[in-house]
Amino acid sequence: MKRKKYPWYLLLFVCCFAGGQMTAHLRAEEASAPAAACLAVVIDDFGYGGQGEEELLALDIPWTAAVMPFSEKTAADAQKVRDAGKEILIHLPMESLEGKREWVGEKGIFLDMTEAEVRARVAEAYGILPDAVGVNNHMGSAVMENAERLGWIIEEVADRGGFFLDSVTTAQTQGRETAQKAGVVCLERDVFLDSTQQKEVVCQNIRKAAEIAKSRGSAIAIGHVGPEGGTMTAAALAEMIPVLEAEGVRFVFLSQLAQEIG
């Protein structure tokens, strides 16, 4: 029996059709694949030489150090951060709804300050930390609820091309709305990492942040040097980093998330 012969152009059509179907299938798989899970870790309270600094700075991942601008070891800690290849955020002290005024420090942002005083204080902070990529609030629940004073701060951040990280110390924060009016990117904290006693609790908090990043594409976790976290947070991160990276979580600088949004 003779095999039926097909015209060459018909065979070419079949091959092209099959190739197109395969390409479409591959593209559909790519489209349905989860977005990269980016996790930005921010460590607050540099500027006091707090415990855990050396261990955290030795971690071989990108992360962001929030440095207190008016503390006795601000300059020394900021240089350690730079030498370690991390980025700097101004950890601006602000008045809170609870706690004593002195806890914020003499050079905090307070509700009884004038507009000129607030703007001058932010400018002074940038003068001390000129390479800062942005600002986040230290304490500050009272200021974060006051759109007028927060607006003065964020406008100063805008003038310097920075972004704002809202640590979300109050549910009534005006951060996002105020930043939008000023045309400034506002990021928000998703998880606090710290536990003073149990590394397992910190690991659980890191895992929580990673799961948010997996489901949403990105997440922000805040820890601290000093007694609130320090060496415990460093040990937990050292344990969890290889685990999460094997799962596809990518550690990034906070500025990378700001650039994606901006």
Residue 31 covered by a domain: no
What CATH number is given to the structural domain containing 198? 3.20.20.370
Span 192-234, pLDDT tens digits: 998 777 899 999 999 999 999 999 999 999 999 998 789 999 9
What are the residues whose beta carbons fall under 8 Å from the beta carbon of 127, sequence distance 6 or more? none
- Could you give the percent of the chain with pLDDT greater than 70? 86
Q: How far apart are CA 38 and CA 44, in angstroms?
A: 19
Q: Which residues of 95-227 form beta strands (DSSP E)? A: 134-139, 163-166, 186-188, 191-192, 218-224
Reduced to 3 states (helix: H, G, I; strand: E, B; else coil), residue 109 is strand
Question: Which tens digit of pLDDT belongs to each residue from 17-46?
Answer: 444 444 444 333 333 334 589 999 999 999
CA 145 to chain centre: 21
Classify residue 27: in a domain, yes or no. no
What range does the domain containing 214 cover? Answer: 37-261
User: Is 22 part of any domain?
Assistant: no
Residue 25 lies in a domain: no
Is the Cβ–Cβ distance between 42 and 63 less than 8 Å?
A: yes
Higher pLDDT, 244 or 5: 244
CA separation for the pair 19, 155 (Å, rounded): 54
Alpha-carbon distance of 66 to 69, in angstroms, equals 9
Lowest mean pLDDT among 6-10, 160-164, 168-172: 6-10
Q: Count of domains in the chain?
A: 1
Question: Is 26 part of a structural domain of the chain?
Answer: no
Residue 1 pLDDT greater than 90, yes or no: no
- Is 211 among the domain residues? yes
Between the alpha carbon of residue 129 and those of residues 19, 47, 67, 92, the distances in Å are: 56, 11, 8, 11
Residue 228 has a pLDDT of 79
Place 151 in a pLDDT band, splitting at 50, 70 and 90: very high
Is 29 contained in some domain? no
- Contact between 94 and 144 (Cβ < 8 Å): yes
- Mean pLDDT, rounded, for 67-94: 98
